[in-house]
Structure 1
Amino acid sequence: MTKIAILGAGSWGTALANVVAENNQDVRLWTHNPAQAREISDQHTNQKYLPTAILNDNLMATDNMALAVSDVDIVLSVVPTKAVRQVAHQLADVLVKQNHRVILAHATKGLEPVTFKRISEMLSEEVPAQYRTALAMLSGPSHAEDVIKHDLTAVSIASDDPNAAKLMQSVFANDVFRPYTNHDLLGSELASALKNIIAIGSGALIGLGYGANAQAALLTRGLVEMRALGQAMGAKPETFLGLAGIGDLIVTGMSPNSRNYRAGRELGSGKSLAEVENTMGMVIEGVSTTKAVYEFSVQHQVDMPITKAIYQVLYEQLPLQNAITQLMQRNLRSED
């Protein structure tokens, strides 16, 4: 039996922990909120994040990180980007005291504000190398609201260490949740962050009243931009054609369960960014990611017109319709 600690009891952390509990693995779900830990352990619910779900009886939660990670093989961080460093620092203190090494993984899709660092870079800076055997990421088309209902789901587990990826694969795999492995952690992290930008644009089109043609065009050309920047930054282009890339892009760019899509739809309906952020109640990762990726595109001299247009809408108050007209009137060119 593999022991795993999952840090973060939001919707995604809880859903992943529930998958592992149903697989009869030893899983500990950590939350900073004692009341939430008691609710999950005693009532087998998480009303705030998954209000209709009944969690597996084997799933236990705790607000004690030392207890959560004691003797585990894997620590999977599923906290928002803005909390990654704080939680990782707390984890490092515990691992040092326990003199304990783990596979350190995450399932967070974003880039750090200001520094624009990937999640694995943040984790490796906070947790000393002697306390982690490998770095990994779980990503792909996988909304928590569908996973908890046992919708058929396939995900990608990326790591430079194939043994670490295979161990995580075995922990999560069952008849309705199928993990694949890949060896491109960089590409997987970039893809998972970049698709949030395109999802905002996709939602905005629907909010404006456009249809499936416009949405399909945006997602397809958005994928071209994602892959081009990924290649320029050292990622494998094929990663963007897999679950971590196009798979995650499709579900995030078309599903009302996606907060980035919903944010874009609200923008398209006429709300300001401030109004959307105030009413969403959850982090909209794509907003800060847009700024980071726009700057990456300039730095690496990669033409990313869709990303630039969304950046102008979010940060320079360019009207959405003007941004669309600007994109459609660009010089004609070949598709490749």
Structure 2
Amino acid sequence: MGIILAWYANKIGHGVMLWGREASRNYQDFVHKRTNEYLRLPEDIRLTNEIGDAIQFADVILIAISAQELRGFAKQLNSIQIANKTFVLCMKGLEMESGKRLSQVFNEEIQPPVNLAIWVGPGHVQDFVNDIPNCMVIDSDNIDTTKLLVEGLGSETIRFYYGQDLLGNEIGAAAKNVIGIAAGMLDGLGYASLKGALMARGTKEIARLVRTMGGNEYTVYGLGHLGDYEATVFSKHSHNRRFGEALVRKERFEKLAEGAATVKALLRLSSDYNVIPSFRKETIQKSN
């Protein structure tokens, strides 16, 4: 995802430096060939394996790494001058062991004051590189940060909407990956017609969780959750849907599926906030 973000920001006129770990095969492919299976990077996008150089280069830093690596990554940033910079979390997940939202994880580890936002919503790399447009969401606790990013990143390819519920959009975006895995499992089992029930009931359950946690339950019915997983559950491109399908077919799946870790985090939140899925409550009541 980091590659497409760099490509997109460059495409709409921003100066871009792309950071990657030196040992990463993906990073080395771009150093030597400037291409991967999805796209070719323009020559004016600079590449670096020095995180300090990338941070100092930009006023706005887009982060697209595995959600489970965010805490360790954020700790590294404290040795760099980052005060008053704007960070945008572009991945969708929850910290597996704690169940914490990614904005919470980031803020817990960052010491200087920074601006923080999230970028969520439907869209796949394969579509964006072919100029197939979509709608997405920027959300932040600071409306000025939201406005800055919506105005600076919007284009004919991506229309951004103003998020007004950071908690709801983060939980919803993370949960859509879990729904995606479930949809893939249905595909693998030959039960694709059950996707309607999955989407309807899944949305309801996540809305209950968001409301109990203090967010706006109606956020779940927007682009950050329902809009995103409607794209996910029917997409041939979705890693999470493909992971679920491979899982029930007992096939190997090599790419990142964030929903696999998010399942555990959601179960923890369900327990912590005493939000038991409706089917489990019904089963408990009948057994009693």
Name the TM-score, length of structure 2 as normaliser: 0.90
Q: Which runs of 5+ in 1 are unaligned?
A: 1-11, 309-325, 332-336
**1:270-314 deviation digits (Å, cap 9, x = unpaired):** x2xxxx5xx2222322222112212222222223257x7xxxxxx
**CA contact 1:40–1:59 (8 Å) conserved in 2:** no
**CA contact 1:205–1:214 (8 Å) conserved in 2:** yes
The CA deviation at 1:42 is 6.3
C-alpha distance 223-237 of structure 1, shift in aligned 2 (>3 A): same
Give the equivalent residue in structure 1 for 2:5.
16
C-alpha distance 143-104 of structure 1, shift in aligned 2 (>3 A): same
Give the equivalent residue in structure 2 for 1:33.
22
Q: 1-side partners of 2:51 and 2:221: how far apart? A: 37
What is the root-mean-square deviation in Å for CA atoms of aligned residues? 2.3
Moved over 6 A (4+): none
Give the equivalent residue in structure 2 for 1:156.
137
Give the equivalent residue in structure 1 for 2:157.
176
Q: Does 1:55 align with 2:37?
A: no
Q: 2-side partners of 1:109 and 1:246: how far apart? A: 14
Q: Does 1:293 align with 2:266?
A: yes
**CA contact 1:195–1:253 (8 Å) conserved in 2:** no
**CA contact 1:22–1:58 (8 Å) conserved in 2:** no
Give the equivalent residue in structure 2 for 1:216.
196
The CA deviation at 1:147 is 1.7
What SS does structure 1 have at the residue aligned with 2:256? coil
C-alpha distance 52-135 of structure 1, shift in aligned 2 (>3 A): closer
**1:152-176 deviation digits (Å, cap 9, x = unpaired):** 1211001111111111112321111
Q: Which runs of 5+ in 2 are unaligned?
A: none
C-alpha distance 296-266 of structure 1, shift in aligned 2 (>3 A): same
C-alpha distance 52-141 of structure 1, shift in aligned 2 (>3 A): closer
**CA contact 1:40–1:60 (8 Å) conserved in 2:** no
C-alpha distance 135-167 of structure 1, shift in aligned 2 (>3 A): same
List aligned pairs for 1:1-336, cutoff 5 A: 12-33=1-22, 36-37=26-27, 39-40=29-30, 43-45=33-35, 47=36, 51-70=37-56, 72-95=58-81, 100-128=83-111, 130-132=112-114, 134-211=115-192, 213-269=193-249, 271=250, 279-305=252-278
The higher-RCO structure (CA 8 Å, 6+ apart) is 2
**1:172-227 deviation digits (Å, cap 9, x = unpaired):** 2111121111121111110011111211111111111123x311221111111111
Q: 2-side partners of 1:79 and 1:52: how far apart? A: 17
The CA deviation at 1:256 is 2.2
**1:215-266 deviation digits (Å, cap 9, x = unpaired):** 1221111111111111111111221111101111112222121121112112
Q: 2-side partners of 1:52 and 1:74: how far apart? A: 24
The CA deviation at 1:38 is 6.2
Q: 2-side partners of 1:289 and 1:60: how far apart? A: 33
Q: 2-side partners of 1:283 and 1:15: how far apart? A: 16
**CA contact 1:74–1:104 (8 Å) conserved in 2:** yes
C-alpha distance 120-218 of structure 1, shift in aligned 2 (>3 A): same
Name the TM-score, length of structure 1 as normaliser: 0.78
The CA deviation at 1:109 is 0.9
Q: 2-side partners of 1:42 and 1:288: how far apart? A: 33
Q: 1-side partners of 2:110 and 2:140: how far apart? A: 17
Q: 1-side partners of 2:19 and 2:269: how far apart? A: 34
Q: 1-side partners of 2:246 and 2:219: how far apart? A: 31
